[in-house]
Every structure is written in structure tokens, then in C-alpha cells.
Chains A and B, each alone.
Chain A
């Protein structure tokens, strides 16, 4: 059974601070990891992907992967009100076409 766990929140963070979102996964064979942002009433939008242990940075976003601990995180620096959304963690277990497994998402609120 593939499982991806996230704290549903809401996670409330002051504007300008660092928002830290966490995700754990159950299948040690998981190969690729994704973070999606979903605004209310909209479809998920891919914002980060990571394959290797360590950090990957893209602008204000940093994805962190620790395969030994089966843990993925997303850091958002200098948080803005426009970052308020639900963040979905997703895992591709086999690396192939049989689909991503999603967590239920963390609702992030950036307080002005």
C-alpha cells in the first residue's frame, strides 16, 4: 500500500517568514517526489520536483529529500499572501507511468 502523509493544517505563517511543509511516504522504492500548489477551485500546479537526497532550490522555494528517513519537505522563504493555498506532496513509486500517489495536502495561510 503506497501512502503519502501530510499534516492537513491549517498552517498559519506571518508574511515574510519561512513556511515549512512536511511529507512522509511509506514505499522505500519511491523514486521521484513532487510538490504541487492548489488554489481553491483550481487545479494543482507543479512547483517543485526532486529525485536525489539533499536540497533543491528554485527561487523562494526549496525542496528537501531524505530517502533514509522517507521524508520530503518544502520550504517557502519570504512568504507572501499569494502563497496561501493547499500544498500537495506526490510520489512516483516506480518511476514509470503507473501514476503519482498524493498526500491529502496541507492548507497554508500567510497572514499579512
Chain B
């Protein structure tokens, strides 16, 4: 997953706690994405940022906020975690030469 770095890799939260998932890229691409992946549900888009300074909601934005801090970094924040947010979270960047993604290695989040 060279080029897209996600932290942390694992996290356990208690219901109601907050946390921020970090994503950074060194590939100088404009568009960045946050997905969650749940068994039987596939990958679902939470938020995306087409360029620095812009963010847009995806399919499942409720309970999340995002910040595009600069061109390199795109963070996902859970203000008050709920068990329904237990999932694997992936950050991705859009490759302009083929319009596919490169994914980060993922964050496995458990909310108890």
C-alpha cells in the first residue's frame, strides 16, 4: 500500500468515545475517499474529497465528519462512536491515469 498510509491499524472504542482516523498520501493526487467495509455489505462510501478544500457526502455519512487538511491528508472523525460503526475503514486515492483506486491498509475499528 505504498503511497497511502492509514493510522491506526486497530482501535477499540467504548460507545460514546470519539476518535479520528488519519489518512495521508504521497502520490500528489487530488481525490481522496473514505469507505467502510462490513460483512455482507461490501464497500460503502462515507465521504470523499475531490480536491483540497472540498468534501462531499457519500452513501453512509451519518455519524462521521471529515477534514481535508491539505492535499496530502484526509481525516475521518467519529464524534460519538456507536457499535454500528464497528467496521474496517479504508482510505483510497483516485489514480488519474485509469480512474481506479489505490487503497490504504485499513483500520479495523471495534466499538463496544
Chain A contact residues, CB within 8 Å of chain B: 8, 32, 34, 42-46, 49, 88, 90, 92, 95-105
Contact = CB atoms under 8 A, between A and B. Distances in A.
A104 B40 contact: yes
A103 B42 CA distance: 6
B98 A104 contact: no
Interface residues of B, number: 27
A99 to B, nearest CB: 5
Q: For the complex of A and B, list the 8 residue pairs with the smallest distance between their C-beta atoms, beginning with the closest.
A: A104-B42, A97-B50, A43-B103, A97-B31, A102-B43, A46-B100, A99-B45, A34-B100
A97 B48 contact: yes
Contact of A98 (B48, B90, B101, B102): B48
Nearest to B103: A43
Contacts of A105: 42
A45 B100 CA distance: 10
A97 B31 CA distance: 6
Given A32-B99, A99-B58, A44 B48 contact: no
B74 interface: no
B100 A43 contact: no
Query: Which of B43, B56, B98 has its CB near the most chain A CB atoms (within 10 A)?
Result: B43
A6 to B, nearest CB: 9
B56 A92 contact: no
A99 B33 contact: yes
A88 B42 contact: yes
Nearest to B48: A99
Contacts of B100: 32, 34, 46, 49, 90, 100
A55 B45 CA distance: 29
Query: Which of B33, B90, B99, B106 has its CB near the most chain A CB atoms (within 10 A)?
Result: B99
Interface string B36-67: 00001111110010110000101000000000
Contacts of B48: 97-99
Nearest to A86: B42
B50 A104 contact: no
